[in-house]
Every structure is written in C-alpha cells, then in structure tokens.
Amino acid sequence: MSRKWWKESVVYQIYPRSFNDSNDDGVGDIPGIIEKLDYLKELGIDVIWLSPVYDSPNDDNGYDIRDYKKVLGEFGTMEDLETLLDEVHNRDMKLIMDLVVNHTSDEHQWFKEAKQSKDSPYRDYYIWRSGKEGKEPTNWESAFSGSAWEYNEATGDYYLHLFSKKQPDLNWENPDLRAEIYDMMRWWLDRGIDGFRMDVINFISKDQSYPDAEVEEGKQYGSGAPYFMNGPKIHDYLQEMNEQVLSGYDVMTVGEMPGVTPEEGALYTGEDRDELNMVFNFDHVDLDSGPGGKWDVKSWSLVELKEIFTRWQNQLAEDGWNSLYWNNHDQPRVVSRFGNDSEEYRELSAKMLATTLHMLKGTPYIYQGEELGMTNVKFSNIDEYRDIETLNMYKEKVEQGADPDEVMEAIYIKGRDNARTPMQWDASENGGFTKGEPWLAVNPNFEKINAEQELQNPASVFYYYQKLIQLRKEYDIIVYGDYDLILGDHKDIYAYTRTLGDEKLLVMSNFSGEKVEFELPENIHYQNKKLLISNYDVEENEDISSVPLKQYETRCYLLK
Ligand code: TEU
Ligand code: CA
C-alpha cells in the first residue's frame, strides 16, 4: 500500500456560517476563520475542508451555488479567501473546498437562461422532461420533501431537482457542461487549493430511461435512488474528471456518496482506477434510520455498527482508502448519538468515540465542535430552526396530520441544525461566536462547553483529540497497520487490533454506561506493552489478559 500525505492527515471540517463571526452581523465569515487558524494549528490538524463559501441565495446554506467563481458577500471577498489560503499554507496546513456539481442554484446564470426557452444554449445543461398525463415525469421524491420535478411555465415541461426546487440537477450527459465544470475546477486548483470534497458526486449519472420508483401504500412519491445513485456512467465521468483535471495536481479528493456499498467504494478509490482518493459512505449514519427513512428513528446496536466498520475496513484493506467520520454539517452530534451527553459521561464518551474512530485505518475527519464534545440541541419552537430539510419535512408531516410534538422529537434526534449551532468559543454572550444576533441560536450549554474552558483544562476533550492527532504523526501503525476485529459478538465492547510488522495496536472501547469485562483473545501474544492513550487513569503495568472496563472506558495499547 503506497504512502500518501492524505493518508497520514487529519481533516477538520469548517461550516463557515457557524464557525466565527468577525463583524458581528450574526453570520460566520472568512476573516473569522483566519482569526482561528492558530486554534486549529494547536489542535494539530493537517487539512481544512471548507463547506461552500461561493455566491449563493442560501436556500440550502450554500449548497445551492449561484456563481462558482465568486465568494458570498456575507462571508467576505475573493481577497479574504486568498488570504485564508495563504495563512493556511503559512502554517503548513492545506485547504480543500466543497465542489457542488450535481446541481446549481436556480439563480445560476446557466439556469436563468435555460429556463427561458427550449432554444437556449444552456437548456441542455439541466434535465428536462415532459409531464405524464398532466403529472410529473416520474414519481420520485425530492430529498427535501415533495416531488423531485418542478414545472416550468415558459417551456411547458419539468426540470429535475433531487434536492430543493432551487437546486436544479445538472445534466452530466452533456459534454459541454462537463467541460465547463472541469474548467472551473482547474481555475480553483490553479489558485492553489489542495483538493475537493465532492457533494453527492455519485448522483451525477442518471438512468436515462427515468423509470418510476416503487411507492409505499398511501404515499404519493417514492425513492428514485436506484436510478441515480452510482448510475450507469458514474465511473466514466469520474475517470474523465481525473484525467482532465485531478491528475495534473497533487491534491486530495473525497466524494460524498449516499448509498455507496463497500464493493463500489473499492472501485471509486482503487489506486489504479484513477477516480477519487476516498468516499464518505453513509452505512453507519443510516444505522438509526428505519424503513421510512431518516426521520423514522430506530434504535441501533453496537454489533451492527462494528459489522459496518469492519466490512469497509476489510473491503478496502488491500486497495483503496477509507474516510473515517462521525460528524458533519448534516449529521447529529456524535456524543448525543452514539455516546452519552449527560453531564456525567459526555467527556468520557466523546473521548471513547474519538479513539474508536481515529485508530481505524483511514483518514479521520473532525467536524467543528466535535473536538469540544459539542452536543445536540433542543429548540422548543420550530421557528427557531433554519434548515430547509427540517422545515419542509415538519410542514409536510404536520399538514398530513402528524402530531407536532412527535415530529419535534425526531428533529431533536436527527435534524441537521444539531450540527449547525454556532461554535462555542467561550462563556460570553452567544458563546463568543458573535456579538450580534446569530443566524441560528447558540446551544444554551455554551457556558459549560466551550473552547476557552477546554484550553485551560489538560483533561479536556480538546487535548484528547490533540493527543490522538499527535499519535498518528508518531506511529506509522496507526496509518498503515492492518485491521482485525476481535470479540465481534460482544454487545458492549468494540475491540480491534492493527498490525504492522511485529507490532500490534490494541484498541478496546466500552460503548455502554455499565462496567464490562474485556477478555483478551488467547491468540494475541506480546512481550511488551505500552499504553498510548486512555480516557481514565490506568496503571501502566496492569495485566490486560482480563480488564474490567469502566463506563465508556477506552484504551489503546501498543504491543510488541
Ligand atoms: O448532502 C447529501 C445527502 O444526501 C444528505 O446527507 C442530505 O444532507 C440529507 O440530510 C438527506 O437526509 C449533501 C450536503 O452535505 C448537504 O448539506 C446538502 O443539503 C445536499 O448534499 C445537497 O447539496
Ligand atoms: Ca460575519
């Protein structure tokens, strides 16, 4: 397996709207990010992934781009972005940008022209179909509720939007559109950015026959996913993009891919296939979703979680590379989801989850605030929420007669605004994020959970993440060692080893709030052991053939 800088890196995701507001208008901005680069350097991360900062009407907080080559006024100027890039590079870090090319905003110049007439030169940049018997061309549901098709008066037909109706899908069948996207990518790479995170990039090739979806009884729309996820030409497009753009630069790429399987993941990331470096899969974050989708919340089991990670670890063991994440701007906070956010166990379980993830084989991603153990939020009124997915879903469900309190319960568990409340910098008003009115309220627990307080406490979650990142720099085995699951059937313990040469890492994590006994499998032999990290105090010479693990305890040993 070849050595690569992006395999040895830790990535930190910034959601700019919620990171740091430098001019107190309530919205995070690029100068605000620059102010905090020393904080990120202190944490030790290598790469920053910046969620979209492009010009946008913000129907979906920047994932609806109006102009790919312009910075959103609220966030600053192109000059600010250039300064950011320089300042990141000055600190020996890298910056990757979000590439959102499955769709644009409906306010993008291309779409404004395309929708005017069937003869527009941009018409074929988007996906148009005639209605069927006065209805939409297919019965596909949009990710943000309602039909995935919108009628356009001027042309008398419908355009496809897998997300909001202000996010029309681009037509990748059109070579001119593809050339235009590649051009735009080169334009950014020539400015010195270090790669891309590619939004829903496995959605760009659609089945050209546009079949109807299966629809559950009593429902109007169904999931068109089988006809656009990992579609027929997806590998052709990614290989073309690689050949025309990426191969000319030493950059990293990670493709966000809902519905990707480990087998497909191996194809997307295989070294000789020249597509992408990594993908984000959704298997572990779909674990608590029932058959009705993400809002159909169900309980999860550790055995299943281990199976999912292990499947990905094994499938990409020889060829390909994993990305490792618990959190991003779309997911609830991990400590509330797979840990325990009570006062007693929040920090312990946040550290346990971090260890479990960072010691797996792959490139770890940290989402802003995760390094502080930030939690989910519960706003009592739907008006306090801002996320389009949450708001549309709430409206639709309540109109259909659902109990609003029950809908709120699902939002508390799964809503995207859990991740989007502003960064908690200190205990001052609005957690030090802004002196103005924040665009989304700060989580009221900021007085207890904030960066300033954690930077003063050597036992904080922050310094624990710092140590995990440091260990990766010191021990090759953390990056390149082979993964093996142990105690796979244990319902509370996630344990595994990593092997490189004659060394082994041993990771043991108790996911439960009970004490449990860890029994070391007899086939694991060693002469010396060294404790690399733990979230409780541990006797260095303690015998580990049998370990009474405390609540949410985690340990990582190096065995020789
Ligand atoms: O998300 C794609 C996606 O499929 C989901 O994670 C989505 O956020 C939704 O929650 C499904 O329930 C990406 C971006 O990360 C997301 O923020 C955007 O809203 C979306 O694409 C559209 O660009
Ligand atoms: Ca601002």
Q: Is the domain of 528 the same as that of 427?
A: no
Q: How far apart are CA 497 and CA 123, in angstroms?
A: 54
Q: Is the domain of 67 the same as that of 146?
A: no
Q: Is the domain of 298 the same as that of 444?
A: yes
The domain boundary, picked from 409, 430, 465, lies at: 465
Q: Provide the CA 238 distance to its chain's centre, in angstroms.
A: 20
pLDDT in tens, 439-498: 999 999 999 999 999 999 999 999 999 999 999 999 999 999 999 999 999 999 999 999
Residue nearest to atom 20 of ligand 1 (CA): 63
Question: Does residue 72 belong to any structural domain of this protein?
Answer: yes
Mutate to test the pocket of ligand 1, among 64, 68, 100, 199 (most ligand atoms within 8 A of CB): 199
Q: What is the mean pLDDT of residues 512-519?
A: 98
pLDDT in tens, 76-101: 999 999 999 999 999 999 999 999 99
256 is annotated as an active-site residue: yes
Say what the ipTM of the complex is: 0.97
How is residue 278 written in tokens?
Answer: 């990594």
Q: Is the domain of 538 the same as that of 522?
A: yes
> How far is ligand 1, taken at its centre, from the CA of residue 234, in Å?
19
pLDDT at 540 over 90: no
Ligand nearest the Cα of residue 60 is: 1
Ligand nearest the Cα of residue 62 is: 1
Ligand 1 atom with the smallest distance to the CA of 294 is 12
Looking at residue 308, its amino acid is I
Q: Which CATH number belongs to the domain containing residue 118 in this structure?
A: 3.90.400.10
Question: Does residue 4 belong to any structural domain of this protein?
Answer: no
Question: Does residue 499 belong to any structural domain of this protein?
Answer: yes
Question: Does residue 489 belong to any structural domain of this protein?
Answer: yes
Single out the catalytic residue among 55, 194, 199, 347: 199
pLDDT at 258 over 90: yes
Q: Which pLDDT belongs to residue 364? A: 99
Q: How far apart are CA 12 and CA 36, in angstroms?
A: 13
Residue nearest to atom 5 of ligand 1 (CA): 330
Question: Does residue 167 belong to any structural domain of this protein?
Answer: no
> How far is ligand 2, taken at its centre, from the CA of residue 496, in Å?
44
Question: Does residue 6 belong to any structural domain of this protein?
Answer: no
Q: Which pLDDT belongs to residue 383? A: 98
Ligand nearest the Cα of residue 21 is: 2
> How far is ligand 2, taken at its centre, from the CA of residue 436, in Å?
9
Mutate to test the pocket of ligand 1, among 163, 164, 204, 330 (most ligand atoms within 8 A of CB): 330
Q: Is the domain of 119 the same as that of 97?
A: no
Q: How far apart are CA 501 and CA 216, in angstroms?
A: 53
Q: Which CATH number belongs to the domain containing residue 280 in this structure?
A: 3.20.20.80
Specify the DSSP element, H or E, that contains 454. helix 451-455
> How far is ligand 2, taken at its centre, from the CA of residue 437, in Å?
10
Ligand 1 atom with the smallest distance to the CA of 162 is 22
What is the span of the domain harbouring residue 542? 482-559
Q: Which pLDDT belongs to residue 1? A: 80
Contacts of 379 (CB under 8 A, 6+ apart): 385, 417, 441
Q: Provide the CA 370 distance to its chain's centre, in angstroms.
A: 12
Residue nearest to atom 23 of ligand 1 (CA): 63
Q: Is the domain of 128 the same as that of 75?
A: no
Ligand nearest the Cα of residue 19 is: 2
**Torsion sign across C-alpha atoms 441, 443, 445, 448:** negative
Q: Hey, what's the torsion of the CAs at 407, 288, 554, 334, to 10 degrees?
A: -40
Residue nearest to atom 11 of ligand 1 (CA): 143
Q: Is the domain of 461 the same as that of 498?
A: no
The domain boundary, picked from 439, 465, 491, lies at: 465
Question: Does residue 495 belong to any structural domain of this protein?
Answer: yes
pLDDT at 61 over 90: yes
> How far is ligand 2, taken at its centre, from the CA of residue 54, in Å?
15
Q: Is the domain of 246 the same as that of 115?
A: no
pLDDT in tens, 318-351: 999 999 999 999 999 999 999 999 999 999 999 9
Q: Is the domain of 432 the same as that of 399?
A: yes
Q: Is the domain of 461 the same as that of 488?
A: no
Question: Does residue 477 belong to any structural domain of this protein?
Answer: no
Looking at residue 20, its amino acid is N
Q: Which pLDDT belongs to residue 111? A: 99
Q: Is the domain of 98 the same as that of 122?
A: no
What is the percent of the chain with per-residue pLDDT over 70, rounded to a whole number?
A: 100
Q: Hey, what's the torsion of the CAs at 524, 530, 534, 539, to 10 degrees?
A: 100
> How far is ligand 2, taken at its centre, from the CA of residue 394, in Å?
29
For the chain, the helix, strand and coil percentages under 3-state DSSP, each to the nearest 5 = 35, 20, 45
pLDDT at 232 over 90: yes
What is the overall mean pLDDT for the chain?
98
> How far is ligand 2, taken at its centre, from the CA of residue 237, in Å?
37
Ligand 1 atom with the smallest distance to the CA of 143 is 11
The domain boundary, picked from 126, 160, 194, lies at: 160
Residue nearest to atom 8 of ligand 1 (CA): 330
Q: How far apart are CA 478 and CA 361, in angstroms?
A: 7
Q: Which of 455, 443, 473 is nearest to 341 (CA)?
A: 443
Q: Is the domain of 255 the same as that of 383?
A: yes
Ligand 1 atom with the smallest distance to the CA of 64 is 23
Q: What residues does ligand 1 touch, defined as CB less than 6 Å away?
A: 60, 63, 100, 143, 163, 199-200, 256, 258, 294, 329-330, 389, 416
Residue nearest to atom 2 of ligand 1 (CA): 200
Domains in the chain: how many in total? 3
Ligand 1 atom with the smallest distance to the CA of 329 is 17
Q: Which pLDDT belongs to residue 424? A: 99
pTM above 0.95, yes or no: yes
> How far is ligand 2, taken at its centre, from the CA of residue 261, in Å?
39
Ligand nearest the Cα of residue 161 is: 1
Q: Which CATH number belongs to the domain containing residue 546 in this structure?
A: 2.60.40.1180
119: exposed, middle or buried (Cβ count in 10 Å: 0-12, 13-18, 19+): exposed
Single out the catalytic residue among 21, 80, 256, 492: 256
Ligand 1 atom with the smallest distance to the CA of 388 is 19
